[in-house]
Amino acid sequence: MSALDSLAASTVVVVDTADLDLLSRWSARDATTNPSLIRRAAADPRYEGLVASAVRGSAKAHDRLDALLVAFGLEILQRLPGRVSTEVDARLSFDTEATLQRARALMARYAAAGVPRDRVLIKIAATWEGIQAARQLEAEGIHCNLTLLFSFTQAKACAVAGVKLISPFVGRITDWHRQQAGAAWNADAHRGAADPGVQAVVRIWRHYKQHGVATEVMGASFRDLDQIAALAGCDLLTIPPTLLDALAASDRAMPRQLDAASLGPATDAPPPALSQADFAEGMRQDRMASEKLHEGVRLFSADTEAVLSQLAAA
């Protein structure tokens, strides 16, 4: 049994790519995309025809962007049995109403293509404004994947909002702690279950399970197999192609590490109804989460701008 097969016995494996030619390589159920992945795919000569066809007849920049996102999403759904996560324009991450409008527009495009709502997750940054947009979308039957999630505060707010799924960023959390430690960082002492990113996800997962929160937890942004192995048993893990290949080539055992049946009673309070002020204070006290959230929005926004520039020349 490969490490990938072993992992799949306890966790739903999700592929983190927009490269259509790779999707059939692994037995993944779902796929996630983001502006960085779409930027690379849109610049790939293999998909020149798909890009040209998607944006044909769209005069407005945001219509061209949405058409491209859904075009890749539709191709992914033809190749995988589960869901695709399609991200709202990251530049709208601090605008609830604009996020709502674009999310509805994306879902309308999928609906026009005959795709059921339960096969699409609208991906939104876990800012306060994004979480409030997700709350409304979930009430409308549009399921959401809250991304760029780095903190317990964000996770609690998502739970209260009733979002379908969250994507805590394991690797980026650990990256921050490694950078802060500098030369004092001890990689061996922060491996596997001792990894800061792993610990953040386990804390959220345990809190959700102990309090009956239905929101799915999908670990994301992995750097190595040790991080993945330490989260075997998490609801879902979205993994990039390089690490999926490494898992498929390895015979390393991936026994379940997270088991809801073995959890004792909760030792913390249930998710509170956070106010915007509570959320802001929680983020203020968590410098890592605040810095990484804003950095992520900036980077995804820059990739979105790059995609728009590519489409303008298409």
Q: Up-side HSE of residue 84: CA atoms within 13 Å toward CB?
A: 26
Cα–Cα distance between 230 and 191 in angstroms, integer?
9
What separation in angstroms does the CA of 228 have from each of 84, 197, 252?
Answer: 21, 11, 12
Cα–Cα distance between 237 and 277 in angstroms, integer?
31
123 has catalytic annotation: yes
CB 275 within 8 A of CB 60: no
For residue 278, which amino acid is it?
D
Element (DSSP H or E) covering residue 125: strand 120-125
Torsions phi, psi of 143, nearest 5?
-85, 150
Element (DSSP H or E) covering residue 149: strand 144-149
Cα–Cα distance between 11 and 5 in angstroms, integer?
10
CB 120 within 8 A of CB 114: no
Contacts of 278 (CB under 8 A, 6+ apart): 272
Of 27, 63, 23, give the one whose Cα is nearest residue 247.
Answer: 27
Q: Choose, from 123, 156, 164, 292, the residue flagged as catalytic.
A: 123
CB 11 within 8 A of CB 277: no
CB 99 within 8 A of CB 92: yes
Cα–Cα distance between 142 and 138 in angstroms, integer?
5
Cα–Cα distance between 102 and 87 in angstroms, integer?
10
Beta-strand (E) ranges in 24-67? 30-32
Tell me which residues are annotated as active site: 123
